Amino acid sequence: MNGNRKHYSSLKTILLTILFLSLSLALIGEGKTNQDTELLKKQFQRLGHRLDVLEKVMDDILWYHKVGDIAYVDKVRHFGPPRGNVKNPTAMGAKNPVKFYSYVFIPKNIDINKKYPLLVFPHGGVHSNFSTYYTHIVRELTAQGYVVIAPEYRGSTGYGGGMYRLIDYGGLETEDVYASRQYMLDNYDFLDKNRVGILGWSHGGLITLMNIFDHPKAYQVAYAGVPVSDLIARMGYMTDSYRALYSAPFHIGKTANQNVEEYKRRSPAWNTHKMKDTPLLIYSNTNDDDVNVLEVQHLIKSLKADGKKFDYKIFKDAPGGHSFDRMDTQLAKKTRFTVYSFLAKHLKPPHPFSSVKALVKAGYPGMK
């Protein structure tokens, strides 16, 4: 599902690297200073953000092409809490809410005189966005009669450097996602406030968990796929460049070594005591090449230790690693069918799938 996106990202990285090295060598040849080199780095960062904006604009057009036959597609702008990391809190507008976009997908066959379930769908990635990578999943959800909102919470890419630097991983971004839920209930009369679910994978799985921990009455069901669960453990096995995304001055500003409590505050595995009775399903994979299964194992142990009721499954070396149940393989489709069955049990969509064949028919036009 994400082949074109990965190709674009790789191409962007190669082009920026070649341009940076070429101009750096030119500066060295002209006897320029380190200050000139730093200025050049900043210019290339700005260029990278502009390329992300271009990618987002192109991907937005693709949404209408890929799901427009079965769903109304919209992109709305609303707001979440004010910024958490403000250099000058007395500056004009410093306490204003953070504005961001969300995608809205509404089944074309709805009857606005009836009530429909809502699914909140936060994307994954440290710095990423909701893209057509999720095309088949959105088709599968809307075909069942779900209305879907996919928030582009603070830190998402494709909206410039300012939005990028607002990242608050495991922090206020989770409140942006909760705000997207409230936006939908406030603006669409055909939604049933008592049938709201949330699902997400990876970073989106972390946001899903933190939402049901912090807002236990807001959701009737949740699915967390391969969720980032323990940032302290994660900082231990990831690379220096990955850790730098968190310790950046505009983000947490400190390493886990310098402020372990802050990383605990943002980790689901260290906050399981806050969970109430929201039905929860968790899937992980032993060969996950992004979120090591040890994070999810810690989450599961913590939930059990706190006496929480939930469902889970750890898949054994499922092909696809981190994205094993988001791919287009037979295993992925069968796995998603079990996820949808779990959601449907609590949200009662008008057209739940009765089989994997029904899922395929909805998600893959032309495939029998």
Mean pLDDT over residues 200-211, rounded?
A: 98
pLDDT higher than 80, residue 314? yes
What residues have CB less than 8 Å from 23, skipping those under 6 apart?
Answer: 40
Per-chain mean pLDDT for the chain: 92
- Tracing tokens 């320029």 back to the chain, one arrives at 32
- Residue 17's pLDDT is what? 61
- Half-sphere exposure (Cβ direction) of 108: Cα atoms closer than 13 Å: 9
Return d(Cα 236, Cα 238) in angstroms, integer.
6
Report DSSP state, residue 90: T
- Residue 368's pLDDT is what? 63
Mean pLDDT over residues 121-133, rounded?
A: 96
- Residue 27's pLDDT is what? 55
Q: Supply the pTM of this predicted model.
A: 0.90
Nearest 10 degrees: Cα torsion 358, 359, 360, 365:
90
The 10s digit of each residue's pLDDT in 131-153 is 999 999 999 999 999 999 999 99
Reported as a pLDDT band with limits 50, 70 and 90, residue 30 is low
pLDDT higher than 80, residue 223? yes
pLDDT higher than 80, residue 240? yes
Cβ(283)–Cβ(225) under 8 Å?
yes
Report DSSP state, residue 256: T
134 to 3, 219, 236, 290: CA distances (angstroms): 12, 22, 30, 18
The 10s digit of each residue's pLDDT in 59-90 is 999 999 999 999 999 999 999 999 988 888 89
Cβ(293)–Cβ(232) under 8 Å?
no
- Tracing tokens 């953070």 back to the chain, one arrives at 98
Mean pLDDT over residues 29-49, rounded?
A: 72
Mean pLDDT over residues 25-48, rounded?
A: 69
Return d(Cα 198, Cα 180) in angstroms, integer.
11
Mean pLDDT over residues 174-191, rounded?
A: 98
pLDDT higher than 50, residue 1? no
> Range with the lowest mean pLDDT among 24-38, 94-108, 114-128?
24-38
Structure tokens given for 87? 């250099």
Mean pLDDT over residues 108-128, rounded?
A: 96
Structure tokens given for 342? 């779990």
- Residue 3's pLDDT is what? 46
Residue type for position 334: K
Report DSSP state, residue 120: E
Among residues of the chain, what percentage have pLDDT more than 70?
90
Residue type for position 211: N
pLDDT higher than 80, residue 25? no
Mean pLDDT over residues 19-38, rounded?
A: 61
- Residue 257's pLDDT is what? 96
Mean pLDDT over residues 10-16, rounded?
A: 60
Mean pLDDT over residues 187-194, rounded?
A: 98
- Residue 16's pLDDT is what? 58
Structure tokens given for 336? 């998603």
103 to 10, 74, 122: CA distances (angstroms): 25, 6, 10
Helix, strand, or coil (residue 206) = helix
